[in-house]
Structure 1
Amino acid sequence: MAQRKGCLIGCGVALVLGIGAVVLLLFGIGKIADVADKTLLDPGVYTSVKTGDPEAAVREKLPSGESFVKGALKEGGPAEPGGSSCSWYLSSGDGADSTVFRFCFKDGKLAEKVEYEMK
C-alpha cells in the first residue's frame, strides 16, 4: 500500500511539473510573438519616410514599439535630440539581426531617423 501511495505522489508531482513547463513554454512563445509584432520593422518603411514628414503619417506605418526589449534597443545608440520623443525598432530584413531603427519626433514632425547596430 505504501509503495502504491508513493507512486501516486510521484506521478502527481511529475504531472504538476509537466503542466508548469508547458505553461512556461507557451508564455515564452507569447513573449517572442509580442516582440515580433511590436518591434520588427521592414527596412523599406525606414527608407520610405523622410525627416520633416508629419508624425501621424509616419506613426501609421510603424508598429507600436512598446515591448520589454525597448530598453535594450536604446543602449548603444546615439544621443536623442533634445525635446524629442523617440521610438525604437528592430530591422526585419535578412541578415540584419542587430540593426536598430530609431525615429524621433518633435513639434508634430519626424525630426530625425537613425539606423545603428545594437551592441
Structure 2
Amino acid sequence: MAQRKGCLIGCGVALVVGIGLVVAVLFGAGKLLDVADKTLLDPKVYEAVRIGDPETEVRAKLPSGDSFVKDALKDGGPAEPVGGTCAWYLSSTDNSSSDVLRLCFKDGKLADKAAYRMK
C-alpha cells in the first residue's frame, strides 16, 4: 500500500510539473507573438515614408512599437534628435541590411530616420 501511495504522489508531481511547463511555453509564445505584432516593420514601409511627412500619416502605417524589447533596440543606434520622440522597430525581413528601423518625430512631422544593426 505504501508503495502505491508513493507512485501516486510521484505521478501527481509529474502531472503538476508538466502542466506548469505547458503554461510556461504558452506564455512565452504569447509574449513572442506580442513582440512580433508590436515591433516588426516591413522595410518597404520604412522606405516609403519621407522626412517631413505628417506624423499622423506615418504612425497610421506603423505598428504600436510598445514592447518590452524597446530598450534593447535603442542600444547601438545613433543619438536621438533633441526635442523629438522616437519609435524603434525590428525589420520584418531576414535579408535586410538593418535589424533596427528608427523613426523620430518633432513638431508633428517625421524629423529623422535611421537604420542600423542591433548589437
Structure 1, residues 54-104: CA drift from partner, whole Å, max 9, x if none?
A: 000000000000111101000000000001000000001232386100000
Ranges in structure 1 where 5+ consecutive residues have no aligned partner: none
Q: Tell me what 1:10 maps to.
A: 10
**Normalised by the size of structure 1, how large is the TM-score?**
0.97
Aligned-pair Cα RMSD in Å:
1.1
Shift of 1:114: 0.6
CA distance in 1, matches of 2:29, 2:66: 17
Ranges in structure 2 where 5+ consecutive residues have no aligned partner: none
The reply to whether residue 42 of structure 1 matches residue 42 of structure 2 is yes
Letter in 2 for 1:44: K
Letter in 2 for 1:10: G
CA distance in 2, matches of 1:49, 1:69: 23
Aligned residues: 119
Contact persistence 1:88–1:100 (CA under 8 A)? yes
**Normalised by the size of structure 2, how large is the TM-score?**
0.97
Q: Tell me what 2:88 maps to.
A: 88
3-state SS of the aligned residue for 1:13? helix
CA distance in 2, matches of 1:16, 1:98: 44
Letter in 1 for 2:85: S
Contact persistence 1:91–1:97 (CA under 8 A)? no
CA distance in 1, matches of 2:9, 2:97: 47
3-state SS of the aligned residue for 1:78? coil
